[in-house]
Chain A
Amino acid sequence: MSSPSETPPVVAHHPALRHHFDTMATQKDSSLLGMWVFIAQEIMFFGGMLAAYAIYRNVYYDAFAAGSHHLDVKLGTINTAVLICSSLTMALGVHAAALGKRKATVLFLLLTIALGSVFLGIKVVEYADKFHHDLVPGPRYSAESLHGAHGEALSADTARHSELFFALYFGLTGLHALHMIIGVPIIAIMAWKAGHGRFGPAYYTPVEVTGLYWHFVDIVWIFLFPLLYLIPHHA
């Protein structure tokens, strides 16, 4: 056993290597696993509210179908496409960073931000429509603008329970939007760092970890879209 007073040998290493890691490979593996574990807890986080959704949709199917009918499927579809494209640009950004292409990385990350912002913009339009029709749960909620599958008026119970649909609609899409609002500035920081040449083939872990997060947010929407928008369309 060597004596404690000896100083460890100083070895030249990559400037981004933190002192508690031995190699860049361990550091990257650890960061990626950390994000995967974080995503696991995110799934449980959304899972709690999705459990509430699953139960109430089963019990109050008519009210949920009527509420879902009011949502704008066209805007929802556009948003789905926008978000999938943003996942593509994100993946291309990670790829460019891995190849050390500085300009391409910045371009793709900025495109991702732009697409994310378009998504949030369309979400604002949709939210505004709900406010306009008094479909925001709370004291002013009114189901008057809702109707059944064939245009008939809703029964008193169904009308009352439709508020639950909109509570969960705002809860789930709101949480999802919040995740995007957190994601956009993080991608902006990545773009700034990439522009300043901080990343290269030897070190682009932050971009990749951000990418994982963004793809997760995208996947959540892939689930939310059919669950919220397409209820009456299922046979």
Chain B
Amino acid sequence: MYAMIAGGVDTGWTFYVPYSTHYSNTHVIATGLGIFITGFSSILTGLNFIVTIHKMRAPGLTWWRLPLFVWAHYATSLIMILGTPVIAVTVLMVALENGLHLGIFDPALGGDPILFQHLFWFYSHPAVYIMILPAMGVISELVQGMSRKQIFGYSFIAISSLAIAMLGFLVWGHHMFVSGQSTYLGLVFSGISFLVAIPSAVKVFNWTATLYKGSISLDTPMLYALGFIGLFTIGGLTGLFLASLSLDVHLTDTYFIVAHFHYIMVGGAIMGYLGGLHYWWPKISGRLYPEAWGRVGAIIIFAGFNLTFGPQFILGYLGMPRRYHYYPPEFQILHVMSSAGASILALGYLLPLVYFTWSMRYGPRAGANPWDARGLEWEIPSPPPTENFVGQPVVTARTYEYGSEEGATVV
């Protein structure tokens, strides 16, 4: 915050050396300190989740009975624990380099600027999985809750989260195909990057299979979940284009990358969070939001999103570089579509803000379980009291048991 008030930084978000060490006259060290402190919060959050999941489960809540949202958080926490410290020490080295010119990243003194990129992406690639994995966990909850059916392939979904977390640490080099790293290294990173598609596809297939013969209700959370599945699939498949070494050389730093990234991070992560927010809103606030407006919002966001980022795939494929304000006139129409889509998207984002605020005061009371869903959180009043459960809950079956009327737990 200090750095922003004092004039910002001129390094770009990646802090690449030598911009951040030699050519920056702005507040690199202050920003670095901010990143460092934020890192502590990431690490301690991850630590909290891991310890809680290991040691503080309710009686009977075995690993294979955990909600998939919890599995996703477990995988995310592992990344936060193992990745964040690396970016912390990297930022520390950049700050030292910026302040004292030690030479660690300076070729003039024998250092190597590419080393910075390696350390940077070692964290920053897993960091995008930190964003998407919890959203995947949310989608697992939404799909089973809204089709009122035991999730298909529970253990595969759980393990695929861990597989994504693990593979995420082995693919950082695919951000550096054009950095001058060895071609053989590029080949290996390209291969491992393809492997990430396997656990991701396992999830998509299992979600789709859960829908089969489910009793589906197209309420707002489900619309977001379906939107997620579609957009994430497009984002994932275009990721395969970028994982191909030769094609990536053509597509690097174009709008194609921008579109791919946003299909995963906005079409994926943000759709997941919005879906989750709608699903658990009655639990959080104790009130129902207006369902019709919720559906309108979900559809506007889906349409606006595709109009914004769909054309960018074409622009990028045709060679439009990112971060340029000037382009050939034949690109004009696609740029206009993209900008129009962004405005629609903004409208879609404002809608939930309005009706959520409205519902906090005027929404009808939700009751404990408005979706008739299964799981521990739906057995307590909404919003949950400070002491969640009056007695110790004992879990007797997997979270998603829709067969029996008694539900999965005894209190």
Q: Which residues of A contact B (CB under 8 A)?
A: 1-4, 6, 8, 20-22, 26, 29-30, 33-34, 37-38, 40-42, 44-49, 51-52, 55-56, 59-60, 63, 137-139, 157, 160-161, 163-164, 167-168, 171, 175
Contacts and interface: CB of A to CB of B under 8 A. Distances in A.
A21 B411 CA distance: 18
A81 B93 CA distance: 30
Interface of B: 43, 46-48, 50-52, 54-56, 81-86, 88-90, 92-93, 96, 100-104, 109-112, 115, 119, 122, 379-381, 385, 387, 390-392, 410-411
Contacts of B56: 20-21, 26, 30
Nearest to B392: A22
5 contacts: A20-B56, A37-B81, A48-B90, A168-B104, A171-B104
Given A2-B390, A55-B115, A40 B89 contact: no
A147 B316 CA distance: 55
A80 B55 CA distance: 36
Given A34-B47, A52-B119, 4 more contacts: A30-B51, A48-B89, A139-B101, A163-B102
Contacts of A38: 43, 47
B82 A40 contact: yes
Given A26-B55, A44-B85, A37 B110 contact: no
Contact of B390 (A8, A33, A160): A8
A158 to B, nearest CB: 10
A3 B391 CA distance: 10
For the residues of A in contact with B, the DSSP-based class is: helix
A200 B260 CA distance: 58
A2 B81 CA distance: 39
A163 B109 contact: yes
A21 B392 CA distance: 12
Contacts of B390: 2-4, 6, 8
B51 A164 contact: no
A41 B84 contact: yes
Contacts of A29: 55
Q: Which of A20, A21, A49, A167 has the most CB of B within 10 A?
A: A167
**Residue among B48, B81, B101, B103 with max Cβ neighbours from chain A (10 Å):** B103
B101 A41 contact: no
A45 B85 contact: yes
A164 B108 CA distance: 11
Contact of B50 (A1, A2, A37, A49): A37
Contacts, number: 119
Contacts of A175: 89, 92
Q: Which 9 A-B pairs have the closest CB atoms?
A: A45-B85, A48-B89, A167-B102, A44-B85, A161-B110, A30-B55, A41-B85, A48-B86, A137-B102
Given A37-B47, A37-B50, A46-B89, A4 B381 contact: yes
B334 to A, nearest CB: 41
A144 to B, nearest CB: 17
Contacts of B411: 1-2
Nearest to A137: B102
B93 A171 contact: yes
Given A8-B391, A164-B109, A45 B88 contact: yes
A125 B54 CA distance: 45
B83 A33 contact: no
Nearest to A34: B51
Contact of B115 (A52, A139, A157): A52
B85 A160 contact: no
Contacts of A48: 85-86, 88-90, 93, 119, 122
Nearest to A48: B89
A39 to B, nearest CB: 10
B89 A163 contact: no
Contacts of B381: 4
Contacts of B385: 4
Contacts of A164: 102-104, 109-111
